[in-house]
Structure 1
Amino acid sequence: MSVVIVNATTTEKPKERYPDDQKGFVDELRSVAMKLHTKAQAKEGERESESPQDQPMAKWEPTMNGYLRYLVDSKLVYDTLERIVNEAPVPFYGELENTGLERSERLGKDLEWFKQQGYTLPEPSSAGVEYSGYLEELPEKDPQAFICHFYDVYFGHSAGGRLLGKRVAEKILNNKELEFYKWDDDLSLLIQNAKEKLNKVSEGWTREEKNRCLQETEKSLKHFGEIIRLVIT
């Protein structure tokens, strides 16, 4: 899944995008997310292009200040997600511990590296603070919605996030690969393992609960899209 920024004024009804039952619930999550891309971003995309951020990532022109803001906000979001999963206020969150996709620790190392290079790290922006605060509201009152955010953030970084990192490295980091874009094990295997865990988590859900999870996709992509937008500001 590539990175997509969703405009807050989107008016499509999510229920119209629900696919029929496929190989597993993660396939449904992916299908709904991909349709929220533009056609320039993905062949399955159905959304009209509305802003410069809708351009293919190869055309993005990142700034160092914007990229640092993106990394700081991303760290806040991953800190929040990983703490909630580890605390497991809902029992099935425990299934998602130690997937190998966790990013908080690695982001911490990257931010420390930037400080050693003489950069002053910014405070989290309103986008990161608002998204983290929203995630804090979900764990117990809306666990299906939380799972949607978990999927979109981690799986999105494994695809579009890596492309973003490559573009930034080429343009402003002299091709340095940050820890944010490294995993201890084969990424494809980690993704497959996490996919199986998410499918297992959703096995006991009703169709209504699954639909509730899918409904959250637009909000999830919008929130993290606002953080991604920082890269080119």
Structure 2
Amino acid sequence: MNTQLFTSRMASIPSISQSQLILKKPQFISSTKSSLFMTPISKPTQSLNLFVLKTKKVVVAAAETTAASAPEEEKSKKRYPGEGKGFVEEMRFVAMKLHTKDQAKEGEKQAQEKPLPKWEFTVDGYLKFLVDSKLVYDTLEKIVDKADFPEYAEFRNTGLERAESLAKDLAWFKEQGYTIPEPSSPGLNYSAYVEELSKKDPQAFICHFYNTYFAHSAGGRMIGKKVAEKILNGKELEFYKWDGDLSQLLQNVRDKLNTVAENWTREEKNHCLEETEKSFKFSGEILRLILS
């Protein structure tokens, strides 16, 4: 083939421009890249699944947190027995639970002693009980008169005071020729305890104040009646008499106690209630002096 023919044929082949080469190259690369990115089709789905899973975990965790906090919220909204009627009813409820069934129908405590009707009373034992009781009432009444805490002043001159009445009874016994004993350990210990308590713990002191006066107005009167029948020829002592209507006097003090407790936190109220068992322990030791 001569040079002229070769040149003529070469000239007849369509030429490839620079722009065509540029277009061809991206098409090839694009095709290759598309195959690389489109092959693992499941990966975006897995990512989506992971996102949904994490979202579910967050929702579950939030639900668990809410569930865990629910008991705390329920606890803060918990209604205590008697709470709807005022704090005095709460104190009464706790006190009743510490009675035995033969003492009160709401009692739950196991009886460890003989029932009251079977007790053997003596004048000497009864005088010890009256002397130690007077010491405790003297202490309580001095505390409210002094009023280290303002709320104590609410309980001055309530009509429930017993110290003066006990002084009259002891004077009567002395006139009958009986020797009046000195206060003994039960009365001394209880008096010292409430006096110290009153200086630093008003909620606990109020618990002892309530139980001492209200217990005497109920069970105390029953004991007094039994003692009078057996050893005093039915004489009613001043200890068991009140000026005015007792039920109204008690209601007036209930109202004052409820008003004072309205300013307490739930924790302070519970602290007051927790002192009930100690008040029963101290008063029980004084009561047992009747049998000595």
Normalised by the length of structure 1, the TM-score is 0.89
Three-state SS of the structure 2 residue aligned to 1:138 is helix
Q: Which residue does the alignment assign to 1:23?
A: 85
1:108 to 2:167 alignment: yes
Q: Which residue does the alignment assign to 1:160?
A: 219
- Give the drift of 1:140: 2.5
Q: Which residue does the alignment assign to 1:51?
A: 113
Provide the rounded CA distance (Å) in 1 between the counterparts of 2:119 and 2:280: 19
Where in structure 1 are there 5+ consecutive unaligned residues? 1-17
Normalised by the length of structure 2, the TM-score is 0.72
> Structure 1 runs of 4+ off > 6 angstroms?
none
Provide the rounded CA distance (Å) in 2 between the counterparts of 1:62 and 1:155: 23
Q: Which amino acid letter does the alignment assign opposite residue 190 of structure 1?
A: L
CA shift in 2, pair 1:176/1:20, >3 Å: closer
- Aligned counterpart for 1:129 among listed residues 169, 188, 199: 188
- Aligned counterpart for 2:156 among listed residues 93, 97, 120: 97
Give CA deviations for 1:78-125 in whole Å, capped at 9, x if unaligned.
Answer: 000000000000001011111100000010010011111100011111
- Give the drift of 1:136: 1.1
Where in structure 2 are there 5+ consecutive unaligned residues? 1-79
Provide the rounded CA distance (Å) in 1 between the counterparts of 2:168 and 2:189: 24
Structure having greater relative contact order (Cα 8 Å, sep ≥ 6): 1
Aligned residues: 213
Q: Which residue does the alignment assign to 1:42?
A: 104
Q: Which residue does the alignment assign to 1:79?
A: 138
- Give the drift of 1:167: 0.4
Q: Which residue does the alignment assign to 2:76?
A: none
Provide the rounded CA distance (Å) in 2 between the counterparts of 1:20 and 1:112: 41
Deviates more, 1:150-159 or 1:35-44: 35-44
Three-state SS of the structure 2 residue aligned to 1:139 is helix
Name the % identity: 68
Provide the rounded CA distance (Å) in 1 between the counterparts of 2:220 and 2:189: 20
RMSD across aligned positions (CA): 1.0
Question: Given that residues 82 and 89 in structure 2 are in contact (C-alpha distance below 8 angstroms), is that contact kept between their aligned partners in structure 1?
Answer: no
Provide the rounded CA distance (Å) in 2 between the counterparts of 1:191 and 1:100: 9
- Give the drift of 1:40: 1.6
- Aligned counterpart for 2:275 among listed residues 184, 202, 216: 216
Q: Which residue does the alignment assign to 1:188?
A: 247
Which structure has the larger Rg? 2
Question: Given that residues 127 and 180 in structure 2 are in contact (C-alpha distance below 8 angstroms), is that contact kept between their aligned partners in structure 1?
Answer: yes
- Give the drift of 1:61: 2.0
